[in-house]
């Protein structure tokens, strides 16, 4: 997929195929048998899926995206000429079961690599086992846990950007366009802390101030009593509530300000799999959202994204073609599509033939750098950092206008970069 890796990959593959073709007819039967075995057996990818539990809505759409990506990859000849087979296991969005599923992939199913979890606690609970079992583990989680150095050499996140870079890159737009005085409302646990800890320094670096940080306990079901704590001179209200309470939150917020309040800025994570024109969300009109990938079709949509939408089966509003009420997790699920294309590119660059080449696969992915936009990367160009195992990419900001999310800003990749916190390449395999 990348320029840097594609070249050696092609030459190596070309060399291999020439060898295989030449030697099959000639005096090296071992090589011929090897090449034959290589082309026959499918490559098995273990898909750790949130089919049940709190992540089920994400898991369902991650599943559909994976299915579509594998159909595409197989139609184009598979990986190294071998078909791709998905072995899906439900992790119940639970870290204990997640670790068990990783063990099952490695020791029972005998998969080549595992991929697919979104929720941070599942990733952090499973990654140590993946490392111990030496099973490459491609997460699609947007957590900063990969680049923070907490995990290990076998865990990579090449298909989706992390929350730290997402949050940081929002700051220039917020202070430049919406206002310099920001108040944050966030859930009082891990996801909220990522926003709390990363936004404030970025806002200050761009000449703004965070006036107040209001943490709301995860058990709260009504929010009205927190709103008086919002300072009167707040220009931007940054909110990242998630879960079922978000509808109540938005409604109460709207009633509290009655349309006179500060500009609202949120993350689409709050409203993934929820239609933006749902009753009660009228108050969001005119507010801004971060989106990993724009749910509603934009006028300048690339041909790659058009093909991607059709392949996954979502319409121009990001809902299922079969049932328009079934709204996708469009802002995140592209991560599965792109991860599978990275696995393909990595395996082809490494000449992957079986589990003995797992380390070579990781080195091949680590060697990736610039990843151009294309059919495998419809969200846009990316830059992979092999040392921190984290990918960086463009972020979108959309405004709710007449029940539609219209993109008003797209960051550069440079906006999203931050200094390395770890160098996984120093760790032995």
Partner 1 sequence: MLHLGLLALLLAGHFFLPAYHHGNLARIMVLASYAMGYNLLFGYTGLLSLGHALFFAAGMYGMGMGVQHLGLGAGAGLILGIASGAVVSALVAVLALRTIGVGFMIVTLMFAQAGFLTILHFGEWTRGDEGFVLAQAGRILWGVDLSTPGARYLAALVLFAACLLITLALVRAPFGRVLVAIRENAERVQMLGYDTQAHKFAAMVASGTMAAAAGAVYGMLFGYVGATFASVQYSILPLLWVLLGGAGTVLGPFIGTLFMFYLIDLSSGVTTAYMLIAGVALVVLTLFAPQGIMGEARRRLWRGLP
Nearer of residues 154 and 308 to partner 1, judged by Cβ = 154
Q: Do 372 and 381 form a contact (C-beta atoms < 8 A)?
A: yes
Nearer Cβ to partner 1 (258/428): 428
Other Cβ atoms less than 10 A from the Cβ of 418: the count is 18
Between helix 120-132 and helix 190-205 the angle, nearest 10°, is: 100
Residue 258 CB, shortest distance to partner 1, in Å, is: 33
Rounded CA gap, 383 and 313, in Å?
27
Contacts of 162 (CB under 8 A, 6+ apart): 142, 143, 144, 146, 147, 390
Q: Calculate the alpha carbon distances from 312 to 66, 76, 252, 337 in Å.
A: 9, 16, 35, 9
The Cα–Cα gap between 360 and 410 comes to 35
Q: Which is nearer to partner 1, 152 or 248 (CB)?
A: 152
C-beta closer to partner 1: residue 101 or 182: 101
Nearer to partner 1, 94 or 252 (CB): 94
Which secondary structure element, helix H or strand E, spans residue 311, and what is its range? Answer: helix 303-312
Q: Residue 110 or residue 372: which is nearer to partner 1 going by CB?
A: 110
Residues engaged in binding partner 1 (CB under 8 A): 51-52, 89-90, 92, 94-96, 99-100, 103-104, 107-108, 120-121, 124-125, 127-129, 132, 143, 145, 150-151, 188-190, 193, 217-219
**Separation of alpha carbons 378 and 103, rounded Å:** 32
Closer Cβ to partner 1, 125 or 208, answer by number: 125
* DSSP calls for 35-76: HHHHHHSPEEEEEEE--SSTTHHHHHHHHHHHHHHHHHHHHT
Tokens 């802390």: give the residue: 193
Minimum Å gap between C-beta 132 and partner 1 is 5
**Judged by CB, which is closer to partner 1: 129, or 239?**
129
Considering the complex, what minimum distance in angstroms separates the CB of residue 32 from partner 1? Answer: 32
Whole-Å CA distances, 179 to 172, 185, 236, 254: 10, 16, 6, 19
**To the nearest whole angstrom, how small is the minimum distance from the Cβ of residue 135 to partner 1?**
12
Element (H, E) at 341: helix 330-350
Q: Which element (helix H / strand E) includes 88?
A: strand 84-90
* Alpha-carbon gap, residue 254 to 215, rounded angstroms: 19
Q: Give the shortest CB-85-to-partner 1 separation in angstroms.
A: 15
- Least Å distance between CB 173 and partner 1? 27
Q: Closest approach of Cβ 120 to partner 1, in Å? A: 5
What distances in angstroms separate CA 12 from CA 218, 316, 321, 354, one per listed residue? Answer: 53, 41, 41, 16
Q: Which residues pair with 393 in a beta bridge?
A: 382
As measured in angstroms, the least distance from the Cβ of 134 to partner 1 is: 12
The answer to whether 186 and 210 have CB atoms below 8 angstroms apart is no
Distance in Å, CB of 128 to partner 1, minimum = 3
CB of 384 to partner 1, least distance (A): 22
Q: Least distance (Å) from partner 1 to the CB of residue 89?
A: 7
CA distance 290 to 292: 7
Identity of the residue, 151 or 171, whose beta carbon is nearer to partner 1 in the bound complex: 151
Instruction: Please say which residue, 108 or 406, places its beta carbon nearer to partner 1.
Output: 108
- Residue that is written with structure tokens 């594609």 in the block: 6
């Amino acid at each position: 997929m990348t320029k840097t890796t594609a070249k050696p990959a092609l030459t190596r593959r070309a060399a291999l195929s020439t060898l295989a073709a030449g030697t099959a007819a000639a005096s090296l039967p071992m090589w011929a048998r090897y090449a034959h075995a290589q082309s026959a057996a499918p490559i098995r990818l273990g898909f750790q899926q949130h089919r049940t539990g709190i992540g089920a809505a994400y898991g369902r759409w991650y599943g559909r995206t994976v299915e579509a990506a594998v159909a595409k990859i197989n139609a184009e000849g598979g990986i190294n000429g071998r078909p791709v087979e998905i072995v899906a296991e439900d992790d119940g969005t639970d870290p204990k079961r997640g670790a068990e599923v990783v063990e099952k992939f490695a020791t029972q199913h005998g998969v080549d690599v595992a991929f697919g979890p979104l929720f941070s606690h599942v990733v952090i609970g499973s990654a140590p086992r993946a490392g111990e079992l030496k099973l490459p583990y491609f997460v699609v989680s947007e957590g900063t846990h990969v680049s923070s150095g907490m995990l290990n050499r076998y865990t990579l996140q090449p298909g989706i950007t992390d929350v730290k870079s997402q949050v940081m890159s929002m700051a220039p737009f917020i202070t430049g366009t919406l206002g310099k005085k920001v108040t944050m409302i966030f859930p009082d646990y891990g996801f909220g802390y990522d926003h709390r800890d990363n936004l404030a320094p970025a806002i200050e670096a761009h000449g703004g101030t965070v006036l107040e940080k209001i943490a709301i306990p995860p058990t709260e079901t009504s929010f009205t009593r927190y709103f008086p704590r919002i300072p009167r001179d707040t220009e931007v209200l940054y909110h990242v509530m998630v879960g079922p309470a978000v509808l109540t939150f938005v409604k109460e917020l709207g009633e509290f300000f009655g349309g006179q309040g500060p500009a609202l800025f949120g993350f689409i994570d709050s409203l993934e799999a929820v239609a933006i024109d749902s009753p009660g969300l009228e108050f969001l009109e005119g507010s801004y959202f971060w989106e990993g990938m724009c749910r509603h079709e934009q006028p300048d949509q690339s041909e790659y994204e058009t093909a991607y939408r059709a392949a996954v089966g979502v319409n121009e509003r990001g809902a299922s073609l079969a049932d328009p009420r079934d709204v996708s997790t469009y802002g995140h699920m592209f991560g599965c599509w792109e991860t599978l294309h990275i696995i393909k590119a990595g395996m082809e660059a490494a000449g992957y033939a079986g589990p003995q080449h797992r380390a070579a696969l990781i080195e091949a992915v680590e060697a990736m750098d610039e990843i151009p936009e294309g059919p495998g990367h419809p969200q846009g160009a990316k830059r992979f950092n092999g040392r921190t195992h984290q990918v960086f990419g463009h972020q979108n900001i959309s405004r709710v206008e007449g029940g539609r999310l219209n993109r008003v800003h797209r960051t550069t990749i440079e906006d999203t970069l931050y200094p390395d916190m770890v160098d996984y390449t120093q760790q032995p395999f």
